[in-house]
Amino acid sequence: MAVGRPVVAVDASVPWRPMDTAVAEIRQVGERLRAVLGSFVAALPPQAQRMSGMSSYLGVDRSICQRLLAGTSHRGDPVHVVSKIPGVRGLRMIAAAAGERGVPDVEIQAVESAVDDFANLIAQMGGSQSAMARQLRSLTEDANARRSSSPAESNGSDDERVRRAVFEGAAKMMGIQARARVEVAAVRPIPGEPESIELGLVVGIIGVVRNEGAVPFAFQIYIDPDDLEDQPAESRVIDPHSLDPDAELGRSLSPLVDQFCTQPLPSVFTRLEGGGMLQVVDLDRTVTEPLDVVLHRRISPVSPHPARLKPPILLLESFQNRPAKDMIRDSYVHRDLARASIPAMSVFSTGPRGSLDAASFRSRWFDRLPRQPELRILGEGISQAGSDIYPRHAELTQYLFDSLGWDPAEFVGYRCRERYPIWSANYVMSFDFSTPENA
């Protein structure tokens, strides 16, 4: 049996204090369980991956199998997974039965370790799954009440102070910083090719200052070649120069959106590298007067339709690889995609593992930071695109859609704003397309 955290006996009569740290721990345990149990289900024979077949194959009651599948297919906040899945006894029963039927040891051990974590959480939250569910309701109601009464306070002043300290340290170390990083992305199914999607994106680094010898700004967007195995490379439009596909890669001014950049324009070197597109902005050795740099890119196709992925999740990532005081990330998703998905916002530590794909988004639960930035729905169209972070943000959004030739009325907008975004973290806006059939 795998070694997990010891189960600590806690007096259930002691009330659990509503704390953001408690919600974060529940969310982490829920994310781990969803990932590990999802991998376990995928390791079963195909006929045992549905409720009736699983019950027959494992010799476990149907209701336990039903709850297991409900937890692995949950599309919302992973904090609620812990109340959907079977209890500790039921999960251990499933793991033992699977082990007897030859399911790989690595899957069994992963389940047992995650269940140890789950048992420890239950012990800390009243000693039973029902008591834990009551505590969870109290925690979420308390958090919602605080968010409604004081939106600024809901982000946590201590949390912002920590992020600011990280920003200040990174800015001194790297010798470069920006007043704001702004990004606007739009994604839609390709007309006439509904099984693939395409992406348009503008990225702006606003108010850049740079010391002599500091690192340059670099941007990278990752493309998983396995995701596009049905698309020959020569048929792909990966165009950093214009939102119309008509340019070669290399050194050029053309990736820049001239009307949003400070003059004179820097040069930008672009190349395909490591499964993605790399753009390096060549600034002068020293930048004492703040300047703005805005780039655009279009990739078509960027991915198969998210419903075809395993698991079926669309990820829109924002790597904070240079320190900025503020960040705003807007994603406009075609209404056909928005209607079929559930959006969420997460922050991941990048480390040596780099970018995420649909599978690693769940399996890398250990890289997910405990806090979740707020995700705001802007609604249909771009009437809510303005922002006090960047006075020209609404204009930049209109430029993206005009350049792509896409009708913004067909899109639903989502926004994440973060004061002092965590340097070197990956802010991920996800859209889960899971259904009972493809979960």
pLDDT number for residue 207: 93
What's the token pair of residue 201?
Answer: 């994106």
Stretches in the chain below the pLDDT threshold 50 = 1-19, 151-155, 223-254
How is the chain split into domains, by residue range?
20-151, 157-432
For the record, the structure tokens of 79 come out as 């904090």
The predicted structure's pLDDT at residue 345: 92
Please give the structure tokens belonging to residue 388.
């006090």
Sign of the alpha-carbon dihedral angle for 269, 274, 277, 280: negative
**pLDDT at residue number 73:** 83
Q: Helices (DSSP H) in 175-270: which residue ranges? A: none
Q: Distance of alpha carbon 253 from its chain centroid, rounded?
A: 31
Q: Which of 425, 415, 400 is nearest to 188 (CA)?
A: 400
- Paired tokens of 224: 């998983």
The residue type of 290 is P
Angle between helices 62-72 and 88-100 (to 10 degrees): 100
- Asked whether the CA dihedral 108, 114, 119, 122 is positive or negative, the reply is negative
Query: Contact, 337 vs 188, CB < 8 A?
Result: yes
Cβ atoms within 10 Å, residue 282: 11
pLDDT value at position 137? 76
Output the pTM of the full model: 0.73
Sign of torsion, CA 351 354 355 356? negative
Give CA–CA dist 163/3, Å, rounded. 34
Structure tokens at 104: 């790989």
Give strand pairing partners of 416.
329, 375
Q: Closest Cα partner for 26 from 92, 77, 95, 67?
A: 77
d(CA 150, CA 408): 32
Q: With contact defined as beta carbons under 8 Å apart, do 122 and 108 qualify? A: no
Tokens of 203: 């990225």
Q: What is the pLDDT of residue 248?
A: 41
In the structure encoding, which two tokens stand for residue 399, read together? 């430029």
For the chain, report the end-to-end CA distance as a whole number of angstroms.
28
Please spell the DSSP secondary structure of 376-405, one letter per residue.
EEEEESSTT---SS-TTHHHHHHHHHHHHT
Amino acid at 397: T
Residue 277 confidence (pLDDT): 64
pLDDT of residue 422: 94
Q: In this structure, are residues 373 and 345 in contact, taking their beta carbons and an 8 Å threshold?
A: yes
The pLDDT, as a whole number, for residue 239 is 41
Sign of the Cα pseudo-torsion (254, 259, 260, 264, in order)? positive
